[in-house]
Structures are given as C-alpha cells and as structure tokens.
Amino acid sequence: MMVTKLAALAPLALEGNGRMAAAILMGIAFGIILVKSDFPYSKQVREALTLKNGELSKSFLLSLGIGTLLFYFLYKTGVVTYHVRPAYLWPSILGGIVAGIGMALCMAVPVTVLASLASGKLYALWAILGMILAVPCVRIASEWLSGTIFQWGQKMNDPEHYSEFFSFSNPALWVLMVCAVLVLILQFALSGGSSSGGGSGDSGGDKKKKE
C-alpha cells in the first residue's frame, strides 16, 4: 500500500515562487544538518582526513549508501528521475586531484564553507574569496581547457537502472556493499567522538557523548 501511494507521486518539480521558497527552506534545513553533523568545522574535518576520527567519514559513507538505496527504489516507483550532468573521465580525475589538494589546505568545500562562516569562523572568508576568484580564472583558461583536458577521453556513460536489485550487475548494490564495508572498517579501526571533548574544539561548547 505504501508503494502504491508512492507510485501515485511524481517528481514535485516545483516552479516559480514555490521553487524559490522551497529552495530557501531546504537550504535552511541543510545548514542545520551540516552544523549538527560537524562538517563545517575544520578540526573535525582535519581529524577525519588524517584518519584520526571516523565520525564524519562514516556519516558521509552512510549518506552515500542509504541515499543510493533510497534513490534506486524511488526511481523504480517513479517518484524521482535521473538528473546527472555529463561527465568526462580525465576532467573528473584531474578535477578530483586539484580539489582534493585544495580540500587538504582549507578543509572545506563550497557548501560547508558557508556554514563555517555562519558559525563565526571568520577565516572561512579567505576560502570563499579563493573560490570566487577561481571562477573568472577558469573562464580565462576555458579556451585552453576546452582544447586540452576536456578533449581527453570520452563522455562517461549515463547511469543505468537495473530492474533487479539483488543482481551482481546492479551498481546500486555494489555501492551499498562497499559503503557498508567501509563504515564497518572505520567503526572498528578509528576512534570516534573525541574531537569536541572539553568544549575547546571548533564546534564550540557542545559536549558530544562517545558512542
């Protein structure tokens, strides 16, 4: 009955003022989720990236696993549809390398840096300025990029949907299994909940109970 009810739903596809209002409300919700999850705080991110604390990594992996599962079944019932930008192999790899180095330096990505600034971390302004400056630089270099990096390799295949979930050719199943295994490894290999002890961490005065 639940599936039947969901099947009656189609993508909401909001337009106009409703779209704007929903975007603002969803942004507020996302800001809350980010702060509660400690993603905007450089100390926690640094501990996650240096493999000292697995909390953020587990959150991220769980979101990928559960999100993939949710999307698979909701796509099957027609509630959501695919919306993926075209991707190319070498630009994805090179972009990942460059962005990864940047992440190691500033401990933030565009959405988390906004939340970080909102949490009083004024130093996040520098990262925002750097991000804003990168856009015209890419525009200036776009002709060169179009003739070089963006010509390497072919467009990657669009996602395919497999009707049978428990099939070894279903990538969603593989994503779920890989995320589950990585979460288990992190759960047993890394400590958790130590970064905000004593109230002196980036997250302010909150006390986080150890799992």
Partner 1 sequence: MPNFKSIVSGSWAWWLSGLCLAVFGVAMLWMFDDTPGMSDGMLQMAEFSRRAAEDRSIEQAPPLDWQTGFLGGIFIGALACAFISGKWKFALRPEGGSGGMLAGAGKALLTGFGGGFLVMLGLQMSGDSFFGQWISALQVSSGAWVFMSVFLATAIISSILIARRFGGAK
Within residues 142-171, the interface with partner 1 by CB under 8 A covers 145, 149, 156-159, 171
Are the beta carbons of 77 and 6 closer than 8 angstroms?
yes
CA dist 189 and 19 (Å) reads 43
Q: Of the two residues 62 and 185, which places its CB atom closer to partner 1 in the complex?
A: 62
Give the residue from 84, 71, 90, 88 showing the smallest Cα distance to 162: 71
Whether the CA torsion 62, 64, 69, 71 is positive or negative: it is positive
Task: Locate 50 and state its tokens.
Answer: 């240096």
| By CB under 8 A, residue 192 contacts partner 1 | yes
Q: Taking the complex as a whole, how short is the minimal distance between the CB of residue 90 and partner 1, in angstroms? A: 9
Q: Of the two residues 4 and 35, which places its CB atom closer to partner 1 in the complex?
A: 35
| By CB under 8 A, residue 111 contacts partner 1 | yes
CA dist 143 and 165 (Å) reads 43
Beta-bridge mates of residue 191: 53
Are the beta carbons of 209 and 193 closer than 8 angstroms?
yes
- Phi, psi dihedral angles at 88 (to 5 degrees): -125, 145
| By CB under 8 A, residue 136 contacts partner 1 | yes
Are the beta carbons of 109 and 96 closer than 8 angstroms?
no
Choose, by CB under 8 A, the member of 3, 144, 169, 172 that binds partner 1: 172
Kindly state the number of chain residues that form the binding site for partner 1, as judged by CB under 8 A.
130
| By CB under 8 A, residue 190 contacts partner 1 | no
Choose, by CB under 8 A, the member of 76, 77, 103, 185 that binds partner 1: 103
Q: Taking the complex as a whole, how short is the minimal distance between the CB of residue 119 and partner 1, in angstroms? A: 4
Which residues ranging from 40 to 99 are in contact with partner 1 (CB under 8 A)?
Answer: 40-43, 46-47, 49-51, 54-56, 58-68, 70-71, 74, 79-89, 91-99
Q: Taking the complex as a whole, how short is the minimal distance between the CB of residue 127 and partner 1, in angstroms? A: 3
Q: Taking the complex as a whole, how short is the minimal distance between the CB of residue 144 and partner 1, in angstroms? A: 12
| By CB under 8 A, residue 102 contacts partner 1 | yes
CA distance readout (Å), 9 to 71, 76, 83, 99 = 14, 12, 17, 38
Residue by residue, DSSP assigns 150-186 as GGSSPBPPPP---S-SS-TT-HHHHHHHHHHHHHHHH
| By CB under 8 A, residue 20 contacts partner 1 | yes
| By CB under 8 A, residue 14 contacts partner 1 | yes
